[in-house]
């Protein structure tokens, strides 16, 4: 199973200068390669190497970085050519351009990790730069030490230096669960479990609300600086949401693993429609975030050997988890569930999560049937 671990670097001013010069030179080199590729109509990695390698050496790139630059360009053309086939023909009317701070891959010969010391050393145009500090959690450090394989991307984004490391862990055998934790996704509560644990969306919703207000105010201006500010805010919001999704998914998977249960999650393919019914303007804001949470739960569950089932979420909010009676009136408002038939009362999200948990049991039984297709 492949995943990435992203760490933030804390370079000294001298190290930062080395990183910045390196990214700039690598991307200048990428643009040189891209123009040559374009002129001679040659886009494959090995063919390009023959035509561009010496030019890159002359620019001051050593062997490994030069090869990575060429491969980066070749990969970019492969991606765009795939899009061209789809429809964006005009995308290839000129060479692909690389921003001076575009991401650059480093392999183990150009980058080494000292995980216990929380430092990296890497090739830069200023020579080998050692002892660049990075920050990460203990869990990330454990994952890096155990599973990091191959290349890491150096990225400079919103003034932050980041390393995105590729990790590859062997798949763990999934434990046959005794029961399921159901997870209901929502807006007031991002995730609610059938155990009654609620992960509130208050902080995230506040950030989103502030950004929406700001967007409204700045959209009228249409200046470059306003656009830049908005972009920065959006990215900060995305980072915040990502961080929250990591914490929620970890908490759910840890609890499932601890209690020998599987996880039942609503099938997210219908989430747009479902959320639209609640609040139209929030659809796009939230659907990517739900999908991200779903994928975080999925890969953390796979890593821990926890069974995961996706269930049909239809009527989970209207169905009574005690007697099965389905009625719109069972849910008079956002928070309340009271069954019209048996009188069972529970927080609406917890009731929905309990339904999802029960559907998980049924879904798992179907998956485990020996002669299932
Ligand atoms: Zn009932």
Task: Tell me how crowded residue 209 is: count the other CB atoms within 10 A of its CB.
Answer: 10
Task: Sort 245 into a burial class: Cβ within 10 Å, 0-12 / 13-18 / 19+.
Answer: buried
pLDDT at 372 over 50: no
**CB distance 181 to 264 below 8 Å:** yes
Query: What is the mean pLDDT of the segment spanning 158-171?
Result: 88
CA–CA–CA angle 231, 243, 347 (5° rounding) = 110
* Displacement of CA 228 from its chain's centroid (Å): 23
Taking the centre of ligand 1 as the mean of its atom positions, its distance from the CA of residue 198, in whole angstroms, is 22
pLDDT at 280 over 60: no
The whole-chain average pLDDT of the chain stands at 87
**CB distance 156 to 19 below 8 Å:** yes
Which residue matches tokens 């920050």? Answer: 135
Taking the centre of ligand 1 as the mean of its atom positions, its distance from the CA of residue 347, in whole angstroms, is 13
Name the most confidently modeled range: 90-99, 111-120, 172-181. 111-120
Taking the centre of ligand 1 as the mean of its atom positions, its distance from the CA of residue 320, in whole angstroms, is 5
What's the DSSP call for residue 311?
A: E
**CB distance 143 to 129 below 8 Å:** no
pLDDT confidence tier of residue 369, bands split at 50, 70 and 90: low
pLDDT by residue (tens digit) across 14-50?
999 999 999 999 999 999 999 999 999 888 999 999 9
Taking the centre of ligand 1 as the mean of its atom positions, its distance from the CA of residue 270, in whole angstroms, is 26
Pairing of strands 148-157, 160-168: antiparallel
Those residues with Cβ within 8 angstroms of residue 10's Cβ, 6 or more apart along the chain or in another chain: 132, 133, 134, 135, 161
Taking the centre of ligand 1 as the mean of its atom positions, its distance from the CA of residue 372, in whole angstroms, is 32
Task: Please give the C-alpha separations between residue 91 and each of 31, 34, 48, 81, 117, in angstroms, as whole numbers.
Answer: 16, 14, 20, 9, 45
Distance between CA 335 and CA 345 in Å, rounded?
Answer: 11
Taking the centre of ligand 1 as the mean of its atom positions, its distance from the CA of residue 331, in whole angstroms, is 12
Distance between CA 10 and CA 195 in Å, rounded?
Answer: 40
Query: What is the mean pLDDT of the segment spanning 187-196?
Result: 92
Taking the centre of ligand 1 as the mean of its atom positions, its distance from the CA of residue 260, in whole angstroms, is 28
Query: What is the mean pLDDT of the segment spanning 92-101?
Result: 82
pLDDT at 355 over 50: yes
Task: Please give the C-alpha separations between residue 123 and each of 103, 285, 366, in angstroms, as whole numbers.
Answer: 15, 39, 53
Taking the centre of ligand 1 as the mean of its atom positions, its distance from the CA of residue 333, in whole angstroms, is 17
Specify the DSSP element, H or E, that contains 3. Answer: strand 2-10
Instruction: Provide the token pair at 26.
Output: 């690598």
Which residue matches tokens 């370079």? Answer: 11
- Tell me the helix, strand and coil percentages in the chain, rounded to 5: 50, 20, 25
pLDDT at 89 over 70: no
pLDDT by residue (tens digit) across 301-334?
988 999 999 998 889 999 999 999 999 999 998 8
Name the most confidently modeled range: 81-90, 164-173, 311-320. 311-320
Which residue matches tokens 């972009």? Answer: 231
Q: Of the given ranges (153-157, 208-212, 270-274), which has the lowest mean pLDDT?
A: 270-274
Task: Tell me how crowded residue 167 is: count the other CB atoms within 10 A of its CB.
Answer: 19
pLDDT at 281 over 70: no
Residue 211: predicted pLDDT: 86
């Amino acid at each position: 199973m492949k995943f990435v671990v992203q760490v933030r670097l804390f370079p000294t001013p001298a190290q930062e200068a080395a990183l910045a010069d390196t990214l700039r030179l690598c991307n200048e080199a990428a643009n040189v390669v891209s123009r040559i590729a374009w002129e001679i109509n040659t886009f494959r990695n090995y063919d390009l190497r023959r035509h561009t390698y010496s030019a890159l050496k002359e620019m001051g790139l050593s062997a490994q970085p030069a090869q990575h630059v060429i491969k980066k360009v070749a990969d970019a053309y492969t991606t765009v050519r795939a899009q061209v086939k789809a429809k964006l023909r005009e995308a290839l009317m000129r060479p692909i351009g690389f921003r001076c701070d575009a991401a650059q891959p480093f392999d183990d010969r150009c980058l080494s990790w000292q995980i216990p010391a929380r430092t990296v050393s890497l090739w830069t145009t200023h020579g080998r730069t050692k002892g660049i500090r990075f920050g990460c959690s203990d869990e990330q450090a454990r994952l890096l030490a155990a599973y990091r394989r191959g290349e890491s991307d150096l990225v400079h984004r919103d003034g932050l230096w980041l390393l995105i490391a590729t990790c590859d862990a062997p798949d763990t055998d999934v434990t046959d669960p005794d029961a399921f934790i159901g997870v209901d996704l929502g807006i007031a509560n991002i995730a609610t479990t059938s155990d009654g644990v609620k992960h509130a969306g208050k902080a995230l919703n506040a950030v989103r609300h502030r950004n929406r207000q700001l967007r409204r105010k700045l959209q009228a201006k249409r200046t470059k600086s306003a656009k830049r500010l908005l972009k920065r805010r959006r990215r900060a919001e995305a980072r915040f949401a990502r961080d929250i999704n990591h914490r929620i998914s970890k908490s759910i998977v840890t609890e499932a693993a601890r209690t020998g249960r599987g996880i039942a999650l609503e099938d997210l393919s219908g989430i747009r429609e479902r959320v639209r019914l609640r609040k139209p303007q929030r659809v796009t804001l939230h659907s990517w975030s739900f999908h991200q949470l779903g994928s975080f739960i999925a890969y953390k569950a796979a890593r821990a050997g926890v069974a995961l089932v996706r269930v049909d979420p239809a009527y989970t909010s209207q169905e009574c988890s005690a007697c099965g009676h389905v009625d719109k009136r069972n849910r008079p408002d956002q928070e309340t569930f009271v069954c019209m038939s048996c009188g069972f009362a529970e927080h609406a999200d917890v009731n929905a999560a309990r339904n999802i948990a029960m559907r998980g049991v049924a879904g798992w039984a179907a998956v485990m049937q020996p002669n299932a297709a």
